[in-house]
Amino acid sequence: MSEVTRATTGRRIFIDKQTPQSYRAMRDAADTIRGAAADAGLDRVLVELVNLRVSQINGCAYCLHVHTRAALRAGEDAQRLGVLPAWRDTEVFTPRERAALALAEATTAPADTAAADDAYAGAREVLTDDEISAVIWVAITINAFNRVSIMSKHPVRPLPRQ
């Protein structure tokens, strides 16, 4: 039996349902962090770009599904969503967004200390201290939710065609 088959034949526990008080605490923390991000001046589109980029790196299908829809509702457009994995190779993101994306990536892969130092230095040039803190907290939070969804194998089902 292949590893893929073995991994998908057993039903996974949805840990958010199995231990709802822990998940509620994560949701409460996420609400607080979302409020702090807004208070720091980060708009919803930027927060969703961070959520999406981190979820892309982590390969979390469920969070990609949720946050793509949230980004579209917040006013993001399809072109920018489509090129987000290659954001460095485009001209469609502002310097502020680029700094936030680099910082989110560094938060997601902290073992690469050189990249983290570069991202932090770049963020210091265009983001306030409050914005830097908020971006890092948003990235930490979505990383945690990615792990919940990946380990639970939360499903992504097709949406009705419009």
Confidence of residue 2 (pLDDT cuts 50, 70, 90): very low
pLDDT computed for residue 61 by the predictor: 98
The pLDDT of residue 3 is 47
Residue 48 Cα distances to 44, 53, 93, 117, angstroms: 6, 8, 13, 23
pLDDT, tens only, 14-46: 999 999 999 999 999 999 999 999 999 999 999
Please give the average per-residue pLDDT across 145-156, as a whole number.
Answer: 97
Q: What is the Cα–Cα distance from 9 to 34, expressed in whole angstroms?
A: 36
Buried b (16+ CB within 10 A) or exposed e, 96-116: bbbbbbbbbbbbbeeeeeeeb
Q: What is the pLDDT of residues 42-79, one digit of tens each?
A: 999 999 999 999 999 999 999 999 999 999 999 999 99
Residues of the chain with pLDDT > 70, as a percent, come to: 93
Tell me how far the alpha carbon of residue 113 is from its chain's centroid. Answer: 20
What pTM does this model have? 0.91
The verdict on domain 21-152 having CATH code 3.40.50.1110 is no
Domain locations in the chain?
A: 21-152
Q: Which of 119, 122, 111, 129 is nearest to 42 (CA)?
A: 129
